[in-house]
Amino acid sequence: MGVLKGSIGYAKFYVRGSLPEDLHARFLARVRARAFKPLAPEDEGEAAIGWMPIERPFDEEVSFRAESVFFGHYLNLAMRVDRWKFPTALVKQKMAAAEKAHKAKTGKERISRAEKAELRDLVERRLRRDGVPSTKVVDLTWNTATQQLRFFSRSPVLTEFLYELFEKTFGMRILPAGPYTTGAALELPKAQLAALSSVDVVPLHI
């Protein structure tokens, strides 16, 4: 979360690419095309990733209204990630029970790698059928006038999901804010940019 409530910590990025003239209509269509789709037990993938309305990230039916996505120069969205994640101890317990049942049924004392793989697939499908995926929702707000984007998470995993989803949706790249990218956004002279390319960011703690 972050924009409307919750933590105010965020990571800052700069967006690189050209904006279309009919920005609202084009971007709204692209967001709808990449809307979040629930993760079903029978899905092959381990995760479902997509956009949700920032004020309604847990709705079962996804619908985007222009007035809730755009506010002046700002584009506001929530990135939702659902993943199948089960405790390692639970998976081991279920696997041990499945192997024991398989040995009793086949009369075998040892189980081959192929059989273990099949049993693991069976165990994971049963866990998916009986469980629910873990859900993460992260807000983002993008100032299309300054090309600055704020993503309200610092998780490397969620940031990687953002890179991929954002580029697929908008056809534009995002770069982490730093001395060089900030200088480039401010259109500083080349000599100053060259000096900034070797500057490291050091956090200050007071």
Q: What is the pLDDT of residues 48-80, one digit of tens each?
A: 999 999 999 999 888 999 999 999 999 999 999
Instruction: Please indicate, yes or no, whether residues 73 and 145 belong to a single structural domain of this protein.
Output: yes
Give the phi and the psi of residue 181 in degrees, each rounded to 5. Answer: -65, -35
Instruction: Please indicate, yes or no, whether residues 69 and 17 belong to a single structural domain of this protein.
Output: yes
Residue 30 corresponds to which tokens in the numbers above?
Answer: 């692209």
Does residue 126 belong to any structural domain of this protein?
yes
Does residue 21 belong to any structural domain of this protein?
yes
| Euclidean distance between CA atoms 66 and 75, whole angstroms | 10
Q: What is the pLDDT of residues 137-192, one digit of tens each?
A: 999 999 999 999 999 999 999 999 999 999 999 999 999 986 545 545 545 456 54
Instruction: Please indicate, yes or no, whether residues 80 and 159 belong to a single structural domain of this protein.
Output: yes
Q: Taking a C-beta distance cutoff of 8 angstroms, is the pair 28, 169 a contact?
A: no
Instruction: Please indicate, yes or no, whether residues 126 and 76 belong to a single structural domain of this protein.
Output: no
Higher pLDDT, 95 or 140: 140
Instruction: Please indicate, yes or no, whether residues 15 and 81 belong to a single structural domain of this protein.
Output: yes
Does residue 3 belong to any structural domain of this protein?
no
Query: What residue ranges in 125-167 does DSSP mark as E strands?
Result: 134-143, 148-151
Instruction: Please indicate, yes or no, whether residues 124 and 38 belong to a single structural domain of this protein.
Output: no
Give the phi and the psi of residue 49 in degrees, each rounded to 5. Answer: -130, 135
Does residue 117 belong to any structural domain of this protein?
yes
Instruction: Please indicate, yes or no, whether residues 19 and 38 belong to a single structural domain of this protein.
Output: yes
Range of the domain at 119: 88-130
Residue 153 corresponds to which tokens in the numbers above?
Answer: 């998470």
| Euclidean distance between CA atoms 172 and 33, whole angstroms | 16
Question: Which of 111-117's residues contact partners 24+ apart within 8 Å by CB, and which partners?
Answer: none
Report the SS3 class of residue 148: strand
Instruction: Please indicate, yes or no, whether residues 27 and 122 belong to a single structural domain of this protein.
Output: no
Instruction: Please indicate, yes or no, whether residues 97 and 141 belong to a single structural domain of this protein.
Output: no
pTM given for the model: 0.73
